């Protein structure tokens, strides 16, 4: 049998030689893409060890996410270009390639989003453990958006009238949103808490007449450990609608206290009291004196008001400073012979003695 005659055999409208060329082209494209992927991965992995940026890690991750089926479809499409195929067959091959590329684009898209979300979580997790919850929610929303877009594009390429579909999905989405508006409002409130950070896990906050330390920020609720030991659970939406006092964010704590002397205290002693209190406050390492004044004539005391700042936000540190001030004030008053005032009442009786 003549080999030249074999090359001229016709299979599905193409010679045996044409099929051999097509197979060679397909194998060349497939193997070439695989080799390129390996080279890119090895080069960027080596580069990742020498740089602080994470973009090279992203490139490696995206290349590793490339599916072999997509490379096969590209190879088949390249091989088909060397053959004389009907428009129907060419159209189906192109359609399969487009669908494969759309799926690969969805995989790459979710990979990019997850990469940046994970990077954000690593940067902020130590400061705010609750960020893991937000990252999980954002990852779910990102996947939903990306794959919804891929699905719409795929249906459009399959010849489906997506106008009516998008309209139907829009109406359905509105109905679902109305039915789940409370859940969705709590979800977005959770994301607002995580990213805007009015408070983080570990902060001591006061909401209305309730107070405690934030333990967990979830998708729907935030949990706070009260001073009494019980757990307080707030809806995220209600929490953001409230006025929140965050004591963990204080740089320093302003303290105002009053002390009263008896009415029979002499003028010279009264004049020494503001200076005496100033010396006591300034002797505290974690306190900054602001003012002390003879404020008012009380019902049963001569009232002095003192204002100072504790230079740290810790409540225990404040109580230690105030305790030291009170003890020293008690000692100095005793030395000066100044009596602390206490509630008294003087009754005057009028009338002739019998």
pLDDT confidence of residue 12 = 59
pTM of the model: 0.53
Q: Which residues contact 231 (CB under 8 A, 6 or more apart)?
A: 215, 223, 224, 225
Topology (CATH) of 189-249: SH3 type barrels. (2.30.30)
Task: Report pLDDT for 274.
Answer: 94
Q: Both tokens of residue 269? A: 């002693």
Distance separating alpha carbons of residues 307 and 259, to the nearest angstrom? 12
Q: Can you give the pLDDT of all 354 residues of the chain as single tens digits?
A: 444 454 455 655 667 677 787 788 888 888 888 888 888 878 777 776 676 667 777 777 788 888 888 888 888 888 888 877 777 888 888 888 888 888 888 888 888 888 887 777 777 766 666 566 667 767 777 888 888 888 888 887 777 766 766 666 666 666 655 555 566 677 777 777 777 778 878 888 888 888 888 888 877 788 899 888 889 988 888 888 888 888 877 778 889 999 999 998 999 999 999 999 999 999 999 999 999 999 999 888 999 999 999 998 888 889 999 999 999 999 999 999 999 988 777 776 776 554
| Cβ–Cβ under 8 Å, residues 114 and 142 | yes
Q: How far is CA 113 from CA 58, 109, 121, in A?
A: 10, 6, 12
50-90 pLDDT tens trace:
766 677 777 777 888 888 888 888 888 888 888 777 778 88
Which of the 8 DSSP states describes residue 303?
E
CA distance 233 to 132: 19
3-state secondary structure 85-154: CCHHHHHHHHHHHHHHHHHHHHHHHHHHHHHHHHHHHHHHCCCCCCHHHHHHHHHHHHHHHHHHHHHHHH
Burial of 149 (0-12, 13-18, 19+ CB in 10 A): middle
Q: What local confidence, expressed as pLDDT, does residue 128 receive?
A: 61
Q: Where in the chain is the domain with CATH 2.30.30.60?
A: 189-249
In the numeric block, which tokens belong to residue 262? 């008896």
Give residue 333's pLDDT. 94
Residues facing 22 on adjacent strands: none
Are the C-beta atoms of 313 and 247 separated by less than 8 Å?
Answer: yes
Task: Note the pLDDT tens digit of each residue in 146-198.
Answer: 888 888 888 877 777 667 666 666 666 666 555 555 666 777 777 777 777 78
What is d(CA 21, CA 80) in angstroms, rounded to the nearest whole number? 10
Cα-only R_g, the chain: 39
Q: How many CA atoms lie within 13 A of 236 on its CB side?
A: 24
Query: How many angstroms separate the CA atoms of 277 and 272, rounded?
Result: 9
Output the six-digit token pair for 253: 């704590």
CB 284 within 8 A of CB 320: no
Apex CA 100: angle with CA 95 and CA 105, to 5°?
Answer: 125
Sign of CA dihedral 316, 322, 328, 330: negative
**Neighbouring-strand partners of residue 294:** 304
What pLDDT shows up at residue 82? 80
Residue limits of CATH 3.30.70.100 in the chain: 253-336
Beta carbons of 22 and 82 less than 8 angstroms apart: yes
CATH of domain 253-336: 3.30.70.100
Q: Do residues 101 and 70 make contact, with C-beta atoms less than 8 angstroms apart?
A: yes
């Amino acid at each position: 049998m003549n080999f030249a005659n074999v090359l001229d055999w016709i299979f599905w409208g193409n010679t045996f030689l044409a099929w051999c060329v097509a197979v060679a082209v397909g194998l060349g494209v497939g193997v070439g893409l695989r080799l390129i992927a390996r080279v890119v991965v090895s080069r960027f992995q080596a580069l990742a060890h020498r740089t602080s940026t994470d973009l090279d890690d992203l490139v490696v991750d995206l290349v590793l996410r490339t599916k072999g089926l997509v490379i096969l479809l590209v190879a088949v499409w390249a091989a088909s270009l060397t053959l004389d195929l009907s428009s129907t067959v060419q159209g189906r091959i192109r359609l399969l390639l487009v669908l494969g590329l759309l799926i690969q684009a969805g995989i790459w898209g979710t990979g990019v989003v997850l990469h940046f979300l994970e990077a954000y979580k690593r940067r902020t997790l130590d400061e705010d453990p609750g960020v893991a919850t937000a990252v999980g929610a954002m990852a779910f929303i990102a996947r939903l958006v990306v794959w919804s877009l891929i699905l719409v594009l795929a249906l459009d390429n399959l010849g489906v009238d997506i106008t009516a579909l998008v309209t139907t999905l829009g109406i359905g989405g509105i109905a679902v949103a109305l039915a789940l508006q409370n859940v969705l409002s709590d979800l977005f409130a959770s994301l607002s808490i995580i990213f805007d950070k009015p408070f983080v896990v570990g902060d001591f906050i006061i909401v209305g007449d309730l107070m405690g330390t934030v333990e967990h920020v979830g998708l729907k609720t935030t949990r706070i450990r009260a001073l009494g030991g019980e757990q307080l659970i707030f809806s995220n939406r209600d929490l953001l609608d409230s006025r929140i006092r965050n004591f963990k964010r204080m740089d320093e704590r302003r303290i105002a206290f009053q002390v009263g002397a008896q009415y029979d205290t002499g003028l010279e002693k009264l004049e020494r009291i503001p200076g005496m209190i100033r010396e006591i406050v300034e002797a505290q390492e974690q306190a900054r004196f602001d003012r002390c004044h003879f404020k008012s004539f009380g019902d049963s005391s001569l009232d002095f008001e003192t204002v100072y700042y504790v230079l740290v936000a810790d409540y225990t540190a404040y109580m230690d400073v105030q305790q030291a001030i009170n003890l020293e004030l008690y000692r100095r008053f005793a030395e000066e012979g100044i009596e602390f005032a206490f509630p008294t009442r003087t009754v005057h009786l009028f009338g002739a003695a019998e």
